[in-house]
Amino acid sequence: MSEELFPEPEWLSEEVKTGTTIIAVTFDGGVVLGSDSRVSAGEAVVNRVMNKLSPLHDKIYCALSGSAADAQTIAEIVNYQLDVHSIEVEDDPLVCSAATLVKNISYKYKEELSAHLIVAGWDKKKGGQVYATLSGLLTSQPFAIGGSGSFYINGFVDAEYRKNMTKRECQEFVVNALTLAMGRDGSSGGVAYVVTIDKDGAEEKCVLGNELPKFFDQ
């Protein structure tokens, strides 16, 4: 009888997902990564301030989306593997190496995992680079978007992205894209985390809800 009166909420048994919006953009001299901060289990928001931009090395970050557990685990494993690799070569690792390590795990376990990581960073060989590793593919792109919220901003990023933007313009572009996606996707929201990586290192910034740009709202 008591089960009928107080049925267990669905979200207790739903997998925790970072239904999310993530974006990474290159500029001349580095990259800018951005993400929202909402982690949902079904309809419940279990964490509203999660930072989905995870460091893989000093100047290489990855953006997490999909299943929270899968994405975090991949990031931790690759973090470890990159540390070992950089000791062996006695130099900072290349962004391409980090992306390849992520791709290897994503591809080998693609049936079991459901996470999409965007790897971005700066290295002295090729400067700022962004790699998408969806389902085990590996591709270098001028910019990449991912997560459930990214569907709504496909048109926006296609229209607004220009080559050779400055660092400032890239940061604005990332914040605008995240704001628009968070406005339309129920699984994205909270604050916007932005990380800028260039030859001098990585700079993390958090843009709070009331500081986000305002667009026309009818």
As a whole number of angstroms, the distance between CA 106 and CA 113 comes to 7
Least Å from the CB of residue 210 to other proteins: 18
Residue 216 contacts other proteins per CB under 8 A:
yes
Based on the shown chain and the rule CB under 8 A, indicate whether residue 67 belongs to the binding site for other proteins: no
Annotated catalytic residue, options 20, 26, 133, 179: 20
Minimum CB distance to other proteins smaller for 84 or for 163: 163
The residues in 132-161 that bind other proteins, with binding defined as CB under 8 A, are 142, 148-161
DSSP state of 133: -
Residues from 69 through 128 that contact other proteins (CB under 8 A): none
Minimum CB distance to other proteins smaller for 127 or for 142:
142
Please say which residue, 4 or 163, places its beta carbon nearer to other proteins: 163
Q: How far is CA 102 from CA 9, 79, 83, in A?
A: 35, 10, 14
Locus of tokens 């002295």 = 124
Per-residue x/- track, 158-177, other proteins (CB under 8 A) = xxxxxx------------xx
20 is catalytic: yes
Give the relative orientation of helices 68-89 and 95-108 as an angle to the nearest 10 degrees.
130
Q: How far is the CB of 159 from other proteins (least distance, A)?
A: 6
The residues near 48 (Cβ < 8 Å, ≥ 6 apart) are 37, 38, 39, 189, 190
Nearer to other proteins, 106 or 150 (CB): 150
Closest CA to 50 of 64, 31, 32, 60: 64
List Cβ neighbours of 110 (8 Å cut-off, separation of 6 or more): 135, 136
> What residue ranges bind other proteins (CB under 8 A)?
142, 148-163, 176-177, 180-181, 183-185, 215-218
